[in-house]
Amino acid sequence: MVYITLVGIICLTIMMYIFDIQLSEVKYSKSTKVYLLKEDEYQRYSEYLMTLFFTYINENKEEIKKGINEFFYNSKSYIVKYEKAEVNYSNKSNEFIFTTPYKYGANRNDYFELQAIGESFHMVFIKTEYKVQPPGQVAGSLNN
């Protein structure tokens, strides 16, 4: 009877160890899946802004080809807006500023230059700046 009890305890211990390993693998797989499928807000805003911006460019390409700076010089407000993100044109530097909300109340400003090459337009990346919002300011707005 003692031998049966010892063998039973050993078998139970081995089964619990294997169960613990399997449970750890399931937890690891689940956490990896959640991490890989995590939605990156900056990426989502950036993709939507680029898509909307190039749609706007394609709709107005004949006027823009006559003169990029002249066409956008009269734009007083944002050119394209998606939720908390927007695209502005800087008359001073002739750059497009893609403003997207970033972590902890900051905005990420990506600066691009639009170039007309033949029949198409290309965006040339210039720089990225991070700006902390003053308290009470709406996320996504840019003060010039």
Q: Across all residues in the chain, what is the average pLDDT?
A: 83
pLDDT for 28: 93
More confident of the two residues 75 and 68? 68
Tokens in use for 32?
A: 């990896």
Q: How many helices (H) and strands (E) does the chain have?
A: 4, 5
Sheet strands side by side (includes 85-90): 80-82, 85-90, 95-101, 106-117, 120-132
pLDDT for 139: 47
Residue 144 above 50 pLDDT?
Answer: no
Percent of the chain at pLDDT above 70? 88
pLDDT for 140: 44
Confidence (pTM): 0.64
Tell me the pLDDT tens digit for each residue of 27-74: 999 988 888 877 778 888 889 999 998 898 888 888 877 777 777 776
What CA–CA distance (Å, rounded) separates 69 from 80? 17
Give the Å distances, CA to CA, from 52 to 30, 55, 82, 87: 35, 5, 8, 10
